[in-house]
Structure 1
Amino acid sequence: MKILPALAISLAAAATAIGAGPPAHQWEIGPIIRGKSYSVNMPLRPQPTSQGWSFEFPSNSKRDGHVHYVSFDPGSLDGAREIRVRYRVDARRGTRFVPQQFPDRPATVSLYFQRAGDNWTAKGRYAMYRWYAPSPTVQNIAPGVHEMTVRLDDPRWGAVVGGIKANDRPREFRDALANADKIGLVFGSTGGRGHGVYATGPARFELLDFRIR
């Protein structure tokens, strides 16, 4: 049963009011589709830290693994205005971050959310169940501390099927927000937002702050 929107908003706001959103054990590294994790050789949960959580990027080569999605269930996002994220990347000098699908492109991290009941086919109504943050908010993965803020009323949010924007399908976009059961970070590249990233040497991602307002 879905939580009533007003209650879900209050729960989501409470969970993300301070620090890196809910605790590490409520985040999932995946996606997990029909029992299979597409984040190859990654643990199911990130490791808790004093400020939030962290994970080590799979390193050396594509066959050693790659990280795709890290998400949690926020309840309904109906009425939420924006997402603010702060994170740190640590890596040995000379380490490169490589998208496993498009290794010639820069590796990126960005935001997404997902409607409950998605079957991951991106066909029919499911073509509007996953939404990815506007292209200008996508960040190349690089060492250092970084921040991103994304408005949830930005009409440039894109559906999983390329070319469909929130302003093209406003009802479906609003329905996805109201019935969300996943929100988080995706690792990949342009043209493959959540299709996975690995590093060529030891590297660590730490979430410092994740707020839904």
Structure 2
Amino acid sequence: MTKRPIASLAILALALPAAGSAAMPGAQSWEIGPVIRGKNYSQGMPAAPYPTRGGGWAFDFPAPDAAAGHVHYVTFDPGSLHGKSRLVVRYRIDAAPGTRFVPQQYPDRTATVALYMQRRGDSWTAKGAYQYYRWYAPVATMNALAPGEAEMIVRLDDPDWSSVMADRASTNRAALAAALDDIGRIGLVFGSAGGRGHGVFATRPARFTLLSFEIR
């Protein structure tokens, strides 16, 4: 897991998107979920993050324990990613001194944030063709949750994207390409190694602020 520090922690404004990149949608276009057959798995969370100055958004982690809730997925619908090559994401975490971030399913593991994308029309069964509808970014691009600013950069053709059943894209590039042509959700998942979108809570007040999300 890597975390790339940004020079200044005081910058609040959203960076302008690079030439050729898709503009990040507003906070209300994002969904805190996932919502599967009417059930929202991000318990104790609002339906969407709230907007911040400069066009970004933020949410507060549930605290101080799992009974307060846990955040799993924060995603939006980008449309097709055909012709796009990479994701570049910057965020900041602010937390009270002594805060720990705890995976809801595996509390003994390190809490992480990772990039994620999902083909439109997924049944959430992971059976048959649907095992190639959800894709998680390479393990090397995951970040441990910790106070400060960080970024994640992932190539969309990276052979280490992993399907929901842990198959690498290198073994089925056609399935990854088909998903990229018809993406229905993309964004961030919170959890741990082995349970990337299975939820995280904090032991003290903590906030996650998305500064930029570029699809280039």
Q: Same fold (TM over 0.5)?
A: yes
Q: Please state how far the C-alpha of 1:16 moved relative to its aligned partner.
A: 3.2
Query: Match for 1:152 among 153, 156, 174?
Result: 156
Q: Which deviates more from structure 2 when the two are superposed, residues 119-128 or residues 22-31?
A: 119-128
Are positions 1:130 and 2:116 aligned together? no
Query: Match for 1:16 among 15, 22, 25?
Result: 22
Q: 1:186 aligns to what?
A: 189
Aligned counterparts, 1:62-141, within 5 A:
62-141=66-145
**Letter paired with 1:87:** Y
Q: Please state how far the C-alpha of 1:167 moved relative to its aligned partner.
A: 1.1
Q: 2:60 aligns to what?
A: 56
**Matches of 2:124 and 2:46, distance apart in 1:** 21
The runs of at least 4 aligned residues of structure 1 exceeding 6 Å deviation read none
- Map Cα deviations across residues 30-63 of structure 1 (whole Å, 9 max, x no partner): 0000111000010001000013000000001111
Query: Match for 2:169 among 162, 166, 171?
Result: 166
**Matches of 2:75 and 2:21, distance apart in 1:** 14
**Matches of 1:14 and 1:95, distance apart in 2:** 38
**Letter paired with 1:144:** G
Q: Please state how far the C-alpha of 1:78 moved relative to its aligned partner.
A: 1.1
**Letter paired with 1:198:** F
**Matches of 1:200 and 1:168, distance apart in 2:** 40
**Letter paired with 2:161:** W
- Map Cα deviations across residues 108-166 of structure 1 (whole Å, 9 max, x no partner): 0000000000011111111000000000000000000101110001100000002x111
The answer as to whether partners of 1:15 and 1:22 remain within 8 angstroms in 2 is no
**Matches of 2:147 and 2:157, distance apart in 1:** 30
Are positions 1:46 and 2:49 aligned together? yes
Aligned residue for 1:117, secondary structure, equals: coil
For the structure 1 residues 140 and 69, does the alpha-carbon distance in structure 2 shift closer, same or farther, using more than 3 Å as the test?
same
Are positions 1:206 and 2:214 aligned together? no
Number of equivalenced pairs: 197
Q: Please state how far the C-alpha of 1:14 moved relative to its aligned partner.
A: 7.8
Q: 2:40 aligns to what?
A: 37
- TM-score normalised by structure 2 residue count: 0.89
Q: 1:5 aligns to what?
A: none
Gap runs ≥5 in structure 1: 1-12
**Letter paired with 2:204:** G
Aligned residue for 1:98, secondary structure, equals: strand
- Map Cα deviations across residues 57-109 of structure 1 (whole Å, 9 max, x no partner): 00011111000000000000111100000000000010000000000000000
Gap runs ≥5 in structure 2: 1-18
Query: Match for 2:30 among 19, 27, 40?
Result: 27
**Letter paired with 2:22:** T
